[in-house]
Structure 1
């Protein structure tokens, strides 16, 4: 992911043919709240969306009544607890939709394939398809790790502004999982610059000794996401990396297109 979301237009687009304008505006406001960190004032929403204050107030009042937004004591508005259940369910579905694409990665690379999201300051794995090799990597779906020691973490943060990356690292700390883990903010920012230059991220024995991971972000994902393959360093060599990266990019593009559709369709067999 993460790649930062594209800034929304200052004016909410008109309802598409057959759409309900008030619904589109309400969801747009929820997304703007998420982009702002989850808590905003009405004037901020009016400025960013271009909608008049009375319209925003009416929409927010409805969202509050439904539990999707709550009003704070300081009169600002925050995302509400009912969104948690929706988010948890959609994350599970995202993993389900991703599995056929991860299976394709396993088929073409022979290594374990993963999908991960950035959830707050942590990386959470939402899907995995294991390698068929007897010696293989395994990460539990739902496992949370810090981004500084993982390939998916680097892929997710590669296009995040440096000051935001530094703030995240200050909150999480940078504990060493192995002797090769990057443990300084400057070192991690250098690694992110390298990711931007080459177009993929690498965890080279940084999370676990003897294990290498190659990751790319999923472009235009509704939530910052990355996919990766991981395996023993003896198999995930530099020569193998040259073969695996184009496959990862192609699968990430195909998964991105599937997530952009309403059905999240799986790739055809063959």
Structure 2
């Protein structure tokens, strides 16, 4: 059985162990995982998992992501995330309530696509964005996409979005993707395809000095959770005609998003953990126990 070893981790963290193998996580992120687990269980109609089952799922999740980055924070690139204020602006102005590329460790909403569905599903993952057989349909709605900054991934993402948007256009449905990637005009076929997309409503370039991100290893770092950007960023709005009518990309909305992107590392010297947005994936209220579990976590 997985054991929660009290006092085995530094203050502010928990350590989950299975035999001689242990993984650590910030206490506030552990509370977030507990909240996600409760919401996902309620959404699927499953019986409330026992404490042992929740601990086992948390251990499996943390061990997988630890192994994926080389079992150390510097062993690989945990993908940086947007500030919580960015997600709030996207939700308020463009109806975004789901991420196409996230994990239980950095998601903003209880429903998201992720890389490892086998360990992520108990926490709300609907599978990989690239799963076109049995995965999430993306028939309509508004979605944020901040994919791994890999040319192959970006190009593959653009191709799938193009197919989805063509289907929405033909069906008269509202479908919107807000895509956030590095500004790569001279070295990325994927970037060029997004910039020249038939569904592009707007493209905005945010200079390096004017924005920052949330640390990719936010679930483990006890110091500042913010980092400055290391590149200019491109934000693309891809929309069907109906989506353009419902969620127009105005100058005022772009200005609010840029303000939300502003660097924050100097504002957070002590570090603050990631948390879920207020309410559920569709704006509803999560289960009582989930709200209680998330209550102590600071905004992401």
Smaller-chain TM-score bracket:
0.3 to 0.5
- In the superposition, the TM-score normalised over structure 2's length comes to 0.30
Which has the higher Rg, Structure 1 or Structure 2? 1
- In the superposition, the TM-score normalised over structure 1's length comes to 0.32
